[in-house]
A and B are shown apart, each in its own frame.
Chain A
Amino acid sequence: MKDIHPWPRLWASLLILYTWVSCISSSGTQTSLIARLPSTTRAEAVARAKNLAAHSWVCGVQNLHASCSRIYKSDWASGQHITGIPYNWGGVDGPDLFDQKLVRGLAAGSHSRYGVLSCTAGIDCSAFVTLCWGLPTTGHAYSTSNIRTIAGKLKANVFTDLKPGDALNKPGSHVVLFTGYNRDGTFNICEASGSAARVICHATTWSRFRGYIALQYKGIDD
């Protein structure tokens, strides 16, 4: 009979043990992350979205220029009355923080073509959705690429069974908050829109969302 060396067996056993411990640990981390997520109702999520889209502000002359950028161009005019928190790539500002930054003279909104700027105020798509879910606005913890850690993929029929407060996400691209279906089968969303330069709520069609995945926030209180 062939003599079998004990080391390979030992290594294999250790590998299995390591994998098992990792899985347990990862599962525990995920469970504790979900436990730490703030709980929110669907109505609260939609109300926050509508509040961000309805936020009124006036662009002052000091909010037209970004002190940290020479190439920045504003979307607004001095004295213009605007409804909706402005789109700001990389921004995480809710209404209160945004208003404070306006008073401090930061520029209102920005786009990726001007680079990452620290002297602008507003919110981007993923910060908007996570803010609607009641997550704190300190830092930009979640993007379209890692939002799945706090929101699970829905197994329901996306065309009929989404609920207000769910999200449609395309990793690395864009995310929006679903707010309801229309009688004709189209649906309503709220989003921080770069092309509209602000947070807006509007009706849309499914063809615009090819490749998006429906998500439900893990802290949703049904």
Chain B
Amino acid sequence: MTRLFAVAVLCTSAVLLVSGGEGRPQVEVRTVEMTHVIRIPLTAVGSQETSQASGKDSAILATSPGAAEELPEGPDGFDILDDGGILISDPLRNRVVTFDSQGKLRQSWNIGFAADSIRVLPDGRALIREANTGQLHAFDREGKTIPGEVSPPLDAAQAQKLTATSGSISNGKGNSITVHLERVGQSLVSLQGLAVDNTGKLYVALESTSGELTEGINVNKTVRKYDANGNLLSETTNLPLNYYIPPVDELRVRKGKIYQLMTTSSEVEINIWDMN
């Protein structure tokens, strides 16, 4: 009798282990390395050259190095067009600059204000936020202002952290999936829904930590892709997080690719992970 019980316990444990303890088969998760990087040069501007001065049509973006008690300033907002083209804010020159998918200059939109966030809508309009006021302005594909009041777009998905290793997130269609962090020694810090595509696939950014170090706060960040049923399909490698200019728009998802805005002291890098 005891032997039978032990066998039953062993079998149950094995099933739970294979199914991840949730009664559903474990899907093999693909780890996606950074696919490539688009590099756009950046130059430090002096006090003489800011918004009203030279560089309005340049492919080189501008940064102010900051000082003690002041963070560097410069490109901190971006979004991706359907063809892979890139829109980047250049706040010190009051413009938004568009590049093709290889990083070649397309256009310079002299919008007349410092922008810190860009959101390209499905209809092709670009909503650009004015850094100094928080006001949203709409522009067409050629960078011309579209008059009228602009409402902020709705969040892609609502997320909730449940425990130190789990959270839940809605896919915007009334369904909710559970996110589990299964990394030894790591706990979940935050989760954010980035996008839901038209097949219901959900992209989630996860921050995790092994604890605060003496050097201060330390987190890892990855992006995961889930199918509509909540199965984890793939996950990026750890994102680089050594930002020179902290991004307002850190991540974007377009056609199955993850884009990260990483501004260093010498260039703007658009890091790309192809999750397709």
Interface of B is mostly: loop
Instruction: Indicate if A31 sits at the interface (CB-CB under 8 A).
Output: no
* B116, CB-defined interface residue at 8 Å: yes
Among B98-106, B207-215, B266-274, the stretch in contact with A: B207-215
> Nearest chain-B residue to A82 (Cβ)?
B133
Q: Is the CB of A185 within 8 A of B48?
A: no
Contact of B217 among A75, A76, A126, A158 (CB under 8 A): A158
**Cβ-defined contact, B191 with A185, below 8 A:** yes
Cβ 8 A contact of A207, one of B131, B167, B250: B250
The CA of A159 and the CA of B158, in the complex, are separated in Å by 20
User: Cβ of A196 and Cβ of B192 under 8 Å apart?
Assistant: no
Tell me if B219 is interfacial: C-beta within 8 Å of chain A: yes
Q: Could you say which residues of chain A place their CB within 8 Å of the CB of B47?
A: 71, 113-115
Q: Which B236-266 residues have C-beta < 8 A from chain A?
A: 239, 241-243, 245-248, 250
Q: CA separation between A13 and B134, bound complex, in Å?
A: 64
Take A207-B207, A209-B217, A210-B217 as given contacts and tell me if A82 and B132 are in contact as well, using a CB distance cutoff of 8 Å. Answer: yes
- Do A184 and B159 have beta carbons less than 8 Å apart? yes
Number of A-B pairs whose CB atoms are under 8 Å?
Answer: 138
Q: What is the 8 Å Cβ interface bit string for chain A, positions 155-168, against chain B (1 contact, 0 not)?
A: 00111000000001
Q: Indicate which residue in B68, B209, B212 contacts A143 across the interface (CB closer than 8 Å).
A: B68
Q: Which of B43-73 contact A (CB under 8 A)?
A: 45-48, 50-52, 64, 66-71, 73
A82: shortest Cβ distance to chain B, in Å?
A: 7
Q: How far is the CB of A7 from chain B (nearest CB, A)?
A: 41
Which of B68, B209, B243 is within 8 Å of A145, CB to CB? B68
A138 is an interface residue with CB less than 8 A from chain B: no
B218 located at the interface, meaning its Cβ lies under 8 Å from any Cβ of chain A in the complex = yes
Q: Which residues from chain A contact B110 at a C-beta distance below 8 Å?
A: none
**Neighbour of B67 across the interface among A89, A145, A209, CB < 8 A:** A89
Q: How far is the CB of B197 from chain A (nearest CB, A)?
A: 20
| Interfacial chain B residues near A205, Cβ < 8 Å | 190, 192, 207, 250
Q: Is B235 an interface residue (CB 8 A)?
A: no
- Chain A's closest residue to B89 (CB) is A195
| Residues on A facing B (Cβ under 8 Å) | 71, 73, 75-76, 82-83, 89-90, 111-115, 124-126, 143-145, 157-159, 168, 170, 172-174, 183-186, 194-198, 200, 205-214
Q: List 27 A-B contacts (CB under 8 A).
A: A75-B132, A89-B67, A113-B46, A113-B47, A144-B69, A158-B212, A159-B189, A159-B209, A159-B212, A173-B68, A183-B159, A184-B158, A184-B160, A185-B167, A186-B192, A194-B66, A195-B76, A195-B131, A197-B114, A197-B132, A198-B132, A205-B207, A206-B190, A208-B250, A210-B216, A210-B219, A211-B217
- For the complex with contacts A73-B50, A185-B188, A195-B71, 17 further pairs of A-B residues with Cβ separation under 8 Å are A76-B132, A90-B69, A111-B73, A112-B66, A112-B69, A126-B69, A143-B68, A168-B217, A170-B216, A174-B70, A174-B71, A184-B167, A194-B71, A197-B114, A205-B207, A206-B207, A206-B209
